[in-house]
Amino acid sequence: MPEYSGSEKMTRNIDDKYVVWISGYYDDFNGSACISEDSNTVDSFTIDHTNSHAGNTINGEAVLNPTYRFSVIERQSYSAQAGGGSHLTDYYPVSSWHGRTEIKGTLHNDGVHEYITKDTIRLAQGENWEGRATFRSPQSFFHQNRATTATTTNAMTGATNANGYMLVNNPRKTGSKYYYPIDNDGSYGRSDIKDYSATDSSNKHAQAGNHIDISAAASSGAAGKQGLRREAYMTGMFQWQSFARETANLTHREGIGIPITSLGGKSFMVLDTKWFCQKATQTFAAFGEKILMLYDGTLNAMGTKDRFHIRMCAQHFSGLETTGSFDDANVKTKSPLTYLSIGYDSETTTFASTGVTKTSDGSASNPAIKITIDWSTIYTKLAHAAYNKTETEYSTPAGLMTTDSTTMNDLWVDFDVVVDFDNQSYQLFVNGTESGSVTAFTASPDGTAWTPSQFYGWQLSGAGRDFTDGHTQNPTNTYAWQQILMVDRAAFGRNITHHLGKTAGGSPAITTADTAHTSGHPGSPRMETLSYTCGTNNTSSISAKINDDANNLNIYPLINGGGNSDYLFQIARNGDDRFILSGIINSVRVSQKAKKGEKDIQFSCTDVSKLLDRAVPVWDGGQGLFNNDTDKAVARRGSAEALNDALYFGAVKLKIRDDNLGFQKASPSANDYLEHKNQRTCLYSSHPIQLYNNEDVSAPNYPEYNWLYKKARVLFPMQNADGSLVASKTGVSMTSHGLAATDTVNIFGTADNKTSIDGTNKLVDAVTFDSDSNIFSVAGGPPAANATTTEAKRYNFNGSSTNYAAFLLDAGSFTTVPENLEFGHITFNKTGTYISNVSNDVFELYGVEKVANSAGGFDYYLYTDVPWATINSSSSHSGLSAFTAGAGPWNVYWDTGYFDLHTTSSGTTFNSGGDWDAVKNRSNHAMWMRDLPKSLWFKRMFAKIDETAAYSGLTTTNPAIPTSTQVFTDITHTSAIETVLDAGGVAELITASGVVDSFCFSGATNQGGKIRLDGCKFISLNHAVGTTIKIRSLDTDFKHIWVLWAD
């Protein structure tokens, strides 16, 4: 290649007003976004989290993962805790995290249909923000599809993926994609970055900004394994800081590059590669060629005279340890090479982050074109500095770091490769000038000639070059390069104007090479007319006429080309740095005058969005397999079908779920609940919820107690050693309560029990009793016994040889029938006697048995874990037995309560932090369901009305009209009636024709010995004095009401 000085304009010089291209493939990275994907197959019954997007390993979120909320590090960390494996959905089928660190890594949704619509797992801990699929700019630090963490130490167990990479779309052809191989996750396994004060002996700043030092990067592992760090990102401006070098005398790192921007004023991709090598054990040759960027998509080749175009900028830095003077020329010539590969066989190859292979046997497949780019022959300066601090004896080589030029044209380079399918060859042009000679295609994988339809994909790769022994720099330890490669745009097509071709006097003069068109008329095609239309609420259109009197433009491939018909017609102004108009070619019309030979080509184009008329981009979840009888998609059929349903825009299909109402207990011994994934109280639920108002005594009333407060195991009177009870105190059994004396607690849920110690800010008197740290005492009580027992029988279960006691409750000793008694805990004592191993001890209650007796009633047995030896020393005793240790009766206690702890000693409370955040909305919902029937309007509309009114009479004094707030009646006043009606209620006015006009009232007043209803609302008719009025008697049971309430 020719060498260009830094003062020349590096990109191709085009001074015309308009430039026209036709491109089968084009990408300038405007609109590029990372691709969200999950490669788990539709026939898999489990979801392997390592086959889905890695997420952002720096902050732990995975906004591009269609299934999981958190990044691969969280997921893999939990997988190790759960016993290994990668099928996290096997462990906790949950859809809400609520701060639960032990299940954080498992948080997942039901499928991509939720990800692209409303994904509740993306909410801020399930409460503040709606989550949907979101686009992310290409940044390999944050958005790798697969992450490799094998070289780091953290909670993960080994490498997550052997080959890390990031996938990025082509915004102009969404079915295609780019692979960017990445060697480490963005956080380097959550390792620390060395700060500006990092030192290596006296080498200050040399490692600043790195996760690992240079020598460690080059020396660890086998050759070629640890010496490479590839990263990729999109930016609008790039500016470098000089590469850290391993030298004891380097005390700063202050070389700063000039800001580099695109000539088109847009974003571009940066391929940042660090090559490390320790000369004693490794060589760059052992690393081999490494992929930097791989395009997996059609090039839409038309035929001979097509050209592949790419604009790039390179900045290279040496990180050598130096012991002598610098040799700039030798350093330059050892900078990393870049390889440009174009046109793989679309019919026989498979693309992956590791490269292009033959589909048949997995071996490497070659491209038609492979060009070696040696940047040291293109640039006079390998890196352009805006500022460089003198480093005295170890001064950075001038050829590497300095330049007098700061123009962008000095940095960007245009590479164009013109192909000749007729002669199976190509010609390289650098900045519009031919470079080298016509070169033959590499043989196709099947040995046949390359055709336009075969040309598929392209690749950028790189390789380090080794220094020879005896080099003046003598790198005895570590040597390294940082290779910054910036890609501004890439295209495959042809120039309509400003044709590329070998000059007439080019050397060598090979007839098969495409020659440059002559200037002037007739010669290179030129644009004669241009019309652009852009309407309101409409797509744009382009119409252009091209004059090609010399017949240099062959448009036949546009009509019968080897690729598909999605060709772009592109127009740039004032050079070709940025295209201002682009459209899809819809029609081509050619006209030529018979005598004059003038040839006009008319192009009609529409906006790229018109492609949606014949194709809709959609996630393939296997939904297309349901048109036949195969069982391929059975495993994930529900997810695929739900995606189909999600595409019915403007409508939502209701979900059918299981019969559970929301939660499962995670631990039998703790107040610890997890959400069911298939609960019917979900968004878009098709299951209405029955309205329940705590009207049944033995029902699961006040569920919010389980969420708002910590439940005691049992409440009981504490017994002193002499058998007396501790006065005015109640013992509370609660494991790990964390309380200290003088703390206060709020107590709820005991009002209907024998204990009845509900209250706020109740003082904690003691936090240990009878040597049991799980018992604390509060003011109030002591509670009365729930029942008494005098006899017990022996039992065991599950084939166990251990005998336990089942206690028979004394008939008539209990007022609440214990048949609905919740499994929990129980305590006993004997009045006036302290029983060792019984008094103040808490036992588990396993169940209640109800047995019919001879008297026509029922006996009740409480099955406990009280050792049988406590009751009777005989391990073979059958039937009932009196108590050996202290004859009965024993008092039995099973009441419990809920505690909201305000621990002034430690500053922690139950209703703050994770617990409160996790349950506050659930508690609100439970109470709101009971608040609905409190509404007078709700009662008026939905309550069941008794046939007989509570009170009835006639209206008096004033007519009752819609604006009336008071209704006077002749109902006789009594204090009892007024007390009932003061709570508000519903009444009805009945006209002479029988029309019922119901209304609400908020209270009642004694008006001259008669009832006056106050706060009246919703009267709709005019009623004269003397109208019949009835005060409704309403049922408090609202189970006839079903609410379709999903949240």
In sequence order, the 6+-apart residues with CB closer than 8 A to the CB of 919 are: 98, 704, 707, 708
pLDDT, one tens digit per residue, over 308-328 is 999 999 988 776 544 433 445
Q: Contact, 810 vs 695, CB < 8 A?
A: no
Task: Report which of residues 97 and 290 the model is more confident about.
Answer: 290
At the top level of CATH, the class of 524-613 is mainly beta
pLDDT, one tens digit per residue, over 708-740 is 678 899 999 999 999 999 999 999 999 888 788
Tell me the C-alpha distance between 964 and 952, whole Å. Answer: 19
Question: How many residues does the structure list for the chain?
Answer: 1047
Tell me the C-alpha distance between 471 and 466, whole Å. Answer: 11
The SS3 assignment for 702 reads: coil
pLDDT, one tens digit per residue, over 939-976 is 999 999 999 999 999 999 999 999 999 999 999 999 99
The conformational region for residue 793 under phi > 0 = left, psi -120 to 50 = alpha, else beta, is beta
Interior angle at CA 538, CA 536 and CA 540, nearest 5: 100
pLDDT value for 846: 87
Strands of the 177-182 sheet, one edge to the other:
164-169, 177-182, 290-298, 455-463, 337-345, 369-373
Whole-angstrom CA distances from 432 to 15, 307, 461, 1029 are 13, 12, 23, 98
Task: Report which of residues 914 and 595 the model is more confident about.
Answer: 595
Phi, psi of 642 (to 5 degrees): -65, -35
List the structure tokens of 716: 């009981």
Phi, psi of 85 (to 5 degrees): 85, 170
pLDDT value for 491: 96
How many other C-beta atoms lie within 10 A of the C-beta of residue 5? Answer: 11
Q: How confident is the model at residue 468 (pLDDT cuts 50, 70, 90)?
A: low
List the structure tokens of 168: 């990025």
Q: What is the DSSP letter of 935?
A: -
Q: Contact, 890 vs 882, CB < 8 A?
A: no
Is the per-residue pLDDT at 480 higher than 60? yes
List the structure tokens of 510: 């090979």
Give the residue-averaged pLDDT of 31-37. 90
List the structure tokens of 399: 């050829």
Q: Where are the alpha helices (DSSP H) in 570-703?
A: 637-646
pLDDT, one tens digit per residue, over 637-651 is 777 777 777 777 777
pLDDT, one tens digit per residue, over 546-556 is 888 877 777 77
Q: How confident is the model at residue 609 (pLDDT cuts 50, 70, 90)?
A: confident
The conformational region for residue 643 under phi > 0 = left, psi -120 to 50 = alpha, else beta, is alpha
Closest CA to 789 of 885, 875, 887, 648: 887
Closest CA to 485 of 224, 230, 309: 230
pLDDT value for 564: 47
Q: Where are the alpha helices (DSSP H) in 648-770?
A: 704-708
Tell me the C-alpha distance between 461 and 441, whole Å. Answer: 19
Is the per-residue pLDDT at 992 higher than 60? yes
Q: Which CATH number fits domain 947-1031: 2.60.40, 1.10.287, 2.40.30, 3.30.70?
A: 2.40.30
Q: Contact, 40 vs 66, CB < 8 A?
A: no
Is the per-residue pLDDT at 618 higher than 60? yes
Q: Contact, 632 vs 609, CB < 8 A?
A: no
Give the residue-averaged pLDDT of 141-163. 62
pLDDT value for 940: 95
pLDDT value for 1001: 97
Q: How confident is the model at residue 654 (pLDDT cuts 50, 70, 90)?
A: confident
* Per-residue H/E/C for 247-262: CCCCCCCCCEECCECC
pLDDT value for 255: 66
Tell me the C-alpha distance between 540 and 533, whole Å. Answer: 5
Q: Contact, 227 vs 287, CB < 8 A?
A: yes
How many other C-beta atoms lie within 10 A of the C-beta of residue 727? Answer: 10
Tell me the C-alpha distance between 542 and 136, whole Å. Answer: 31
pLDDT, one tens digit per residue, over 839-876 is 999 999 988 888 999 888 899 999 999 999 999 989 88
Q: How confident is the model at residue 924 (pLDDT cuts 50, 70, 90)?
A: low
pLDDT value for 212: 53
How many other C-beta atoms lie within 10 A of the C-beta of residue 522? Answer: 17
Tell me the C-alpha distance between 134 and 1018, whole Å. Answer: 48
Go through 25-40 and write b for each residue having 16 or more CB atoms within 10 A of its CB, e for each that does not: bbbbbbebbbbbbbeb
In sequence order, the 6+-apart residues with CB closer than 8 A to the CB of 912 are: none
Is the per-residue pLDDT at 702 higher than 50? yes
The SS3 assignment for 1025 reads: coil
Does the pTM of the predicted model rise above 0.75? no
Tell me the C-alpha distance between 865 and 828, whole Å. Answer: 13
Architecture of the domain made up of 710-783+899-910:
Beta Barrel (2.40)
Same topology for domains 710-783+899-910 and 947-1031, yes or no? yes
Q: Contact, 415 vs 373, CB < 8 A?
A: yes
Q: Where are the domains positioned within the chain? A: 199-493, 524-613, 710-783+899-910, 787-894, 947-1031
pLDDT value for 152: 39
List the structure tokens of 942: 């939905």
Question: What does the mean pLDDT of the chain come to?
Answer: 78
Tell me the C-alpha distance between 302 and 286, whole Å. Answer: 39
Which amino acid is present at 692?
Y
Output the CA torsion 1000→1002→1004→1007 (10° steps).
-80
Q: How confident is the model at residue 936 (pLDDT cuts 50, 70, 90)?
A: very high
Q: Contact, 731 vs 896, CB < 8 A?
A: no
Tell me the C-alpha distance between 540 and 756, whole Å. Answer: 77
pLDDT, one tens digit per residue, over 783-836 is 999 999 999 999 987 667 889 999 999 999 998 777 666 668 999 999 999 998
Which amino acid is present at 148?
T
Closest CA to 287 of 277, 273, 274, 299: 277
Q: Contact, 426 vs 369, CB < 8 A?
A: yes
Interior angle at CA 702, CA 696 and CA 707, nearest 5: 155
User: In a 10 Å sphere around its CB, with 0-12 CB exposed, 13-18 middle and 19+ buried, how is residue 129 labelled?
Assistant: exposed
